[in-house]
Amino acid sequence: MIIHRHISSLRNYLHLMRKKGLSIGFVPTMGALHEGHLKLMQASMESSDITVCSIFVNPNQFNDKKDFEKYPNRLGSDLDMLYNTGVQVVFIPFTDEIYPPSAPITDNYDLEGLDTRLEGKFRPGHFLGVCQVMDRLLHIVEADYLLMGQKDFQQCLVIKKLLKITGLPTQLSIFPTIREPEGLAMSTRNMRLSPDQKVQALNIYNCLIEIKSKIESEDFEQIKKLAVDRLTRNGFRVDYVEIAETESLFPVSQRNSAQPLVALVAAFLGDVRLIDNMLLQ
């Protein structure tokens, strides 16, 4: 496993690999890795000759500074996990190289409203920050394949749009959410939950299951209200429970959409914000 800390050294290395005809898979992360991340690495290693994992906690995508400061750092165990998984390349860039202080960050992207719905509404500027870092990383790695998790459903749609905007040939593949045996979606943020909160957090998954079981027979507004009530009763502060079209994330209030649907939840337990989603068809 090779660790690159500088953009130039990673670029030179990948250039050599490409000249040898090797394909490159890219899994961007913010570290504090878990089984969900490792599944993406494994999938990449099955389909590409070289897998590049980046670890970079992108300050620009945190609308809440405290959330950024509290983001777990487990670099030692991350590297052990990546080594044991067989990942060939780890990229851990310096913030000053990704965002050189001498160059003001002015990039903007027309995400056609995707950045203002759901997560975008509750985390203003979040997806702009995601695009700014991914634009840079994608241009540095120039991967053949980009692997991301359905866990961050809206983020996947944003990156799909970003790839279209930039015209990069990288192909995006989205992989199912990896869950704890009881159903809680694996997340770096789960590390900040107490054992009791972890049990409480299961309500999110159970709400999604309930929404899915009722979607064919019951009123959407009623289904969502029941879910919000259940989460609130169980100690959550709910940002949203929404049923939306999978491509646009336009909220849907009646069962007349020809589009496939997805249920999405974002809610706080204490100061930990959790998100999850489930495809409904």
Q: Which residues bind ligand AMP (CB under 6 A)?
A: 29-30, 36-37, 40, 148-149, 151-152, 175, 177-178, 185-188
Residue appearing with tokens 């336009």: 250
Minimum distance of ligand AMP from residue 148's CB (angstroms): 3
Minimum distance of ligand AMP from residue 49's CB (angstroms): 21
Q: Name which of 137 and 252 has its Cβ closer to ligand AMP.
A: 137
CB 53 within 8 A of CB 29: yes
- Active-site positions read 37
Q: Which of 150, 156, 210, 222 is nearest to 179 (CA)?
A: 150
Minimum distance of ligand AMP from residue 57's CB (angstroms): 9
User: What is the spatial distance between Cα 71 and Cα 74, in angstroms, rounded to a whole number?
Assistant: 10
User: What is the spatial distance between Cα 170 and Cα 139, in angstroms, rounded to a whole number?
Assistant: 10
Q: For 123, phi and psi rounded to 5 degrees?
A: -130, 70
Residue whose CB is nearest to ligand AMP in the complex, by number: 149
- For 60, the token pair is 């620009």
User: What is the spatial distance between Cα 156 and Cα 111, in angstroms, rounded to a whole number?
Assistant: 12
Q: Name which of 133 and 211 has its Cβ closer to ligand AMP.
A: 133
Minimum distance of ligand AMP from residue 254's CB (angstroms): 30
Q: Which of 130, 84, 124 is nearest to 107 (CA)?
A: 130
Q: Name which of 54 and 88 has its Cβ closer to ligand AMP.
A: 54
User: What is the spatial distance between Cα 67 and Cα 54, in angstroms, rounded to a whole number?
Assistant: 20
Q: Name which of 185 and 231 has its Cβ closer to ligand AMP.
A: 185
